[in-house]
């Protein structure tokens, strides 16, 4: 619970390189994440190139704060674990395939594992996804049948925001059915 209680979305990073072994350790947590029918639909692209980071931040609604992070992890969901490679498919925000929802759900679990493991190891992180598939995929040569779920920035934090207000537990729990 400590990592869950302490985790914050950090948008300012120190000018300090993040060690490759720490990135691998953090990604190991994603590898261990559960997924429906053990499909493990995720892949992760580690980005350290300043040029590529600038293109990604620009595509991600021009969020220049991202550029202070030494590492980006781009989380990509692959629908081919659920739909045959023989089936032609192009995924975007309006795709109706129910399998898309499944792979996004599963990849989101793996992404949350990354955020919590980063916190556990004293590494700051932020998940962002304010982009369109058609804008983000070409930057990393991601095929049209893959879906980019988000970008996680990683590094040593330069800020320590306070916890934001949360609903009371009584506001979010219902028993047996949806009752107002």
The string of pLDDT tens digits covering residues 62-91 is 999 999 999 999 999 999 999 988 889 999
Ramachandran angles phi, psi of 64, nearest 5°: -70, -20
Establish if 142 belongs to a structural domain. yes
Asked whether residue 58 is assigned to any structural domain, the reply reads: yes
Identify the pLDDT of residue 4.
85
Query: Token pair for residue 141?
Result: 């040569």
Report the pLDDT value the prediction gives residue 79, as an integer from 0 to 100.
Answer: 96
CATH code, 139: 3.40.109.10
Beta bridge partners of 46: 73
Predicted pLDDT of residue 95 = 95
177 occurs within a structural domain: no
Q: Nearest-CA neighbor of 145 among 68, 82, 84, 89?
A: 89
In a domain, 179, yes or no: no
151-158 average pLDDT score: 97
Whole-prediction pTM = 0.94
Domain that holds residue 55: 2-172
Domain count, the chain: 1
Residue 153 vs residues 28, 50, 57, 71, 158: alpha-carbon distances, Å: 16, 13, 10, 6, 13
């Amino acid at each position: 619970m400590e990592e869950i209680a302490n985790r914050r979305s950090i948008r300012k990073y120190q000018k300090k390189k993040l060690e490759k072994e720490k990135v691998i350790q953090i990604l190991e947590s994603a590898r261990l994440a559960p997924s429906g029918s053990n499909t493990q639909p995720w892949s992760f692209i580690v980005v350290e190139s300043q040029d590529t980071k600038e293109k990604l931040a620009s595509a991600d609604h021009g969020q220049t704060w991202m550029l202070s992070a030494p590492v980006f992890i781009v989380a990509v969901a692959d629908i081919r674990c659920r739909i045959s490679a023989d089936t032609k498919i192009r995924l975007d925000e309006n795709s109706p395939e129910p399998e898309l929802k499944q792979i996004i759900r599963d990849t989101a679990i793996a992404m949350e594992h990354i955020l919590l493991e980063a916190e556990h190891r004293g590494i700051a992180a932020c998940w962002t996804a304010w982009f369109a598939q058609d804008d983000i995929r070409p930057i990393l040569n991601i095929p049209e049948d893959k879906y980019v779920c988000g970008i996680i920035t990683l590094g040593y934090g330069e800020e320590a925001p306070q916890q934001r207000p949360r609903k009371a537990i009584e506001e979010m729990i219902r028993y047996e059915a949806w009752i107002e």
